């Protein structure tokens, strides 16, 4: 009987490799990705306020556009802190290229962290269900944003971020589906990848970014 590897609370490079090998043993399609592309990057981000702001900026835009906007905002602020973002207010944040909606989300997050209503250290230490509930209660943080924070910043091993276009396209290609799978179909397919769904997501992102159309 093969030894079952229990997933850690946070992925490391060693457990990312262990998870990728475990998925390759159980799913021939993921095994093919692993053979062709090798180990996916960790794509880790530093937990905290700045990463949450970056994720908000990534909502419904390309990674490149969000990165450019984040760099511009960071340059003007000097440092991405709750105090500085809160002090600028929605109107001044919009001058850096943020939409009114995203400026409002960023400002409200800054106020919540500055005033102690949102303690991101406590979120990281809490049980996942409790921490996710805390983040989802914040204006501007929906399921996709919270999933990405848990997957990349807190590096939880078993998160599947529904609503991610790149993953939907990659899943369609890899599983040879007729069209891009919706959230329900993604959840059904990814269920077999537990407890390493975050590793499966990285394998699929790696595949997506290897396609010429994605560069």
CA dist 214 to 20, 87, 165, 166, 205, Å? 23, 37, 12, 9, 10
Classified as helix, coil or strand, 179 is coil
- pLDDT of amino acid 214: 43
**Domains of the chain and any CATH numbers:** 13-43+159-214 (1.10.1670.40), 49-153 (1.10.340.30)
Q: What is the pTM of this model?
A: 0.92
The stretch 68-90 carries a mean pLDDT of 95
Q: What distance in Å separates the CA atoms of residue 207 and residue 214, rounded to the nearest whole number?
A: 10
The stretch 138-155 carries a mean pLDDT of 97
Q: With cut-offs at 50, 70 and 90, classify the pLDDT of residue 9.
A: confident
Q: Is the pLDDT of residue 199 over 60?
A: yes
The percentage of the chain sitting over the pLDDT mark of 90, rounded to a whole number, equals 91
Q: With cut-offs at 50, 70 and 90, classify the pLDDT of residue 92.
A: very high
- pLDDT of amino acid 212: 73
Q: Which residues have CB under 8 Å from 191's CB, separation 6+?
A: none
- The answer to whether the bond into 195 is cis (omega within 30° of 0) is yes
| CA contacts within 13 A on the Cβ side of 77 | 22
- pLDDT of amino acid 7: 63
DSSP per-residue codes, 46-60: --SHHHHHHHHHHTT
The residue ranking higher by pLDDT, 6 or 34, is 34
Q: What distance in Å separates the CA atoms of residue 139 and residue 141, rounded to the nearest whole number?
A: 6
Do residues 205 and 169 touch, judged by C-beta distance below 8 A? no
């Amino acid at each position: 009987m093969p030894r079952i590897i229990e997933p850690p609370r946070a992925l490391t490079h060693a457990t990312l490799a262990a998870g990728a090998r475990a998925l390759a043993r159980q799913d021939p399609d993921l095994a093919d990705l692993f053979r062709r592309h090798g180990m996916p990057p960790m794509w880790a981000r530093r937990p905290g306020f700045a990463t949450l702001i970056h994720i908000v900026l990534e909502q419904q835009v390309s990674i490149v556009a969000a990165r450019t906007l984040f760099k511009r905002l960071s340059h003007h602020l000097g440092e991405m802190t709750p105090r500085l973002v809160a002090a600028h207010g929605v109107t001044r944040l919009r001058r850096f290229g943020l939409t009114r909606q995203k400026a409002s989300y960023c400002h409200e997050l800054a106020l919540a962290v500055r005033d102690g209503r949102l303690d991101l250290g406590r979120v990281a230490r809490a049980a996942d269900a409790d921490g996710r509930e805390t983040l989802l209660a914040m204006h501007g943080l929906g399921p996709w944003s919270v999933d990405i924070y848990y997957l990349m910043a807190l590096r939880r091993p078993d998160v599947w971020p529904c609503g991610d276009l790149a993953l939907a396209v990659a899943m369609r290609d890899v599983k040879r589906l007729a069209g891009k799978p919706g959230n329900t179909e993604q959840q059904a397919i990814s269920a077999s990848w537990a407890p390493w769904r975050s590793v499966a997501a990285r394998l699929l992102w790696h595949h997506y970014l290897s396609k010429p159309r994605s560069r």
